[in-house]
Amino acid sequence: MRDELAVERRYSISEASKLIGVARSTIQGWKSRKYYQPSITDMETGQKYFSFRDLVLLEATRILRVNRTHSIQRLRKYVPRFMELFEKMGDKMEEFSILVFGDQLMAYTGDATIYGPKEDPDMHLCIAGLRDRVQNQLLFGTAPREKLPGDLVWIDGNPVRT
């Protein structure tokens, strides 16, 4: 029996463009300018595919490119699209997740979502309060060497104890 956990789901540029809601040429443009390269390579054909994490980062890129000011009000407008991406792909958010959007943080629990600047101490207090109610599981951090509130931080897709 094949171990499903060992097989990572992969998405072509066409599938990615449909899921994220941008033109295929837009993603190819991001790729050529090295914003994001597909992280999965088929060893037999050499074809490149996006992983689920790549798609989430592509969606964050789309949000930040549309919204250069990174203001919370504008960001809030795009967060529902980010959540739709998770639902479309059938992936479930963790019990407690922190997502990084440029200089903004979004903390999500089953019953609450908060937004704010990464550097805001009040934001960190709010996150600590949410974290105390649930097990601390960070989904990912987009910036390398980024330290987020909590004991487990994701750097380049790898969990690191802090």
**Residues 109-126: tens digit of each pLDDT:** 544 556 666 676 666 666
- Residue spans of the domains in the chain: they are 1-92, 93-162
Mean pLDDT of 84-113: 54
Strand ranges in the chain using DSSP code E only, listed in sequence order: 40-41, 48-49, 96-101, 104-109, 112-117, 152-155, 158-161
| Token representation of residue 147 | 């330290």
Distance CA 93, CA 113 (A): 12
pTM: 0.39
Distance CA 42, CA 19 (A): 21
Q: What is the pLDDT of residues 18-28, one digit of tens each?
A: 776 777 787 77
CATH 1.10.1660.10 is the classification of domain 1-92: yes
Most confident of 17-26, 50-59, 74-83, 137-146: 17-26
Contacts of 89 (CB under 8 A, 6+ apart): 9, 19, 52, 55
Q: What is the pLDDT of residues 34-46, one digit of tens each?
A: 556 777 888 888 8
Question: Sign of the CA dihedral 9, 11, 15, 17?
Answer: positive
